[in-house]
Amino acid sequence: MATIAGVDVPADRLSVAQSIRLLHALSAVPDPRQRRGRRHSLQSILLIAISAVLAGARSYAAIGDWAVLARPAVGVRGRPPSGATIRRVLLAVDPVAVEAALTRWTLACRNAAAATTEQKSLPHNERRQVLAIDGKSLRGARQPDRQQTKLVSVIDHAHRLVLTQTEVCDGNEIAAFRTALDSLPQLRGCLITADALHTQRGHADYLLARGAHYLFTVKENQCATRRADTSPHEAGQTRREVCWV
């Protein structure tokens, strides 16, 4: 255990292979800094920040402490960047580009895990990709108007991975549903689960167009559907799965 910013945080590190794959994904993120005066690459600073957060760091100070005490297995030469430098870079970098890079890396990690002999030996129904859509407010993160920041996340049930996240704009979580899933290149055959807020005809049509299945919760926000006959669906409509509560 290493004491980081006054809190005991495991000094765990990504493996060399994981770090190299992450650095490669982060190479697509544009650097917002001027060329003059750069001492550390953008990719190395982002790698430090991501590795520190994965180890439990929850502040800029904790990330800076982690860089000194643990530091990544690759990507950083000489003295690590200061906490102030890390903070300035993280505030300036494009969060959408970083999220896209993290999605590519996470998908690569998940696909590598799914390709193992143990996973391939599982029955077909246990190998189905099941993704949950959920929105959460971030504790301690606020907008300039003091409203809490809210994200919609796509979580892989089996691998317990957050594949992608997108910010909820103007409180419209329904619109963020499609934005989040648009960042995933493949949904065919996946089962998408969501709470009653996302039991929307537009969401169902979108998922069917991408070849996905869905399992939605029906409550009073869809009165007609809730009152509908719950008899089995007709042939050709097997993807129209609904959970009745």
Are 138 and 237 contained in the same domain?
yes
CATH number of the domain residue 138 falls in? 3.30.420
Residue 84, burial from CB neighbour count under 10 angstroms (0-12, 13-18, 19+): exposed
Nearest to 26 by CA among 91, 84, 88, 106: 106
**Domain for residue 151, yes or no?**
yes
Are 67 and 131 contained in the same domain?
no
pTM for the whole structure: 0.73
Give yes or no for a contact between 137 and 143, defined as CB atoms under 8 angstroms apart: no
With tokens 């190479």, the residue in question is 27
For residue 82, the one-letter residue type is S
Q: Whole-angstrom Cα distance, residue 56 to residue 4?
A: 9
Q: Whole-angstrom Cα distance, residue 218 to residue 193?
A: 12
Are 154 and 214 contained in the same domain?
yes
Instruction: Give residue 240's pLDDT.
Output: 45
* Neighbouring residues of 56: CB distance < 8 A, sequence distance ≥ 6: 4, 7, 9, 10, 62
**Domain for residue 130, yes or no?**
yes
pLDDT by residue for the chain (245 residues), tens only, comes to 445 454 444 455 677 888 888 999 999 999 999 888 788 899 999 999 998 988 888 889 899 898 888 877 676 777 888 889 999 999 999 999 999 999 999 998 888 877 775 666 766 666 778 999 998 887 767 777 777 888 999 999 888 889 999 989 888 899 999 999 999 999 999 999 998 889 898 999 999 999 999 998 887 777 777 666 454 554 444 344 444 33
Q: Whole-angstrom Cα distance, residue 245 to residue 220?
A: 10
Residue 238, burial from CB neighbour count under 10 angstroms (0-12, 13-18, 19+): exposed
**Domain for residue 102, yes or no?**
no
Instruction: Give residue 118's pLDDT.
Output: 64
Give yes or no for a contact between 43 and 33, defined as CB atoms under 8 angstroms apart: no
Are 84 and 127 contained in the same domain?
no
Are 236 and 128 contained in the same domain?
yes
Hey, what are 226's tokens? Answer: 């809730």
**Domain for residue 57, yes or no?**
yes
**Domain for residue 55, yes or no?**
yes
**Domain for residue 146, yes or no?**
yes
For residue 118, the one-letter residue type is E
- Single out the residue in 93, 108, 140 at which a domain terminates: 93
Instruction: Give residue 9's pLDDT.
Output: 47
**Domain for residue 111, yes or no?**
no
Are 83 and 21 contained in the same domain?
yes
Q: Show the domain range for 229.
A: 122-244
Hey, what are 147's tokens? Answer: 């409203």
Instruction: Give residue 205's pLDDT.
Output: 94
How many domains does the structure of the chain reveal?
A: 2
Are 126 and 220 contained in the same domain?
yes
Are 132 and 234 contained in the same domain?
yes
**Domain for residue 217, yes or no?**
yes
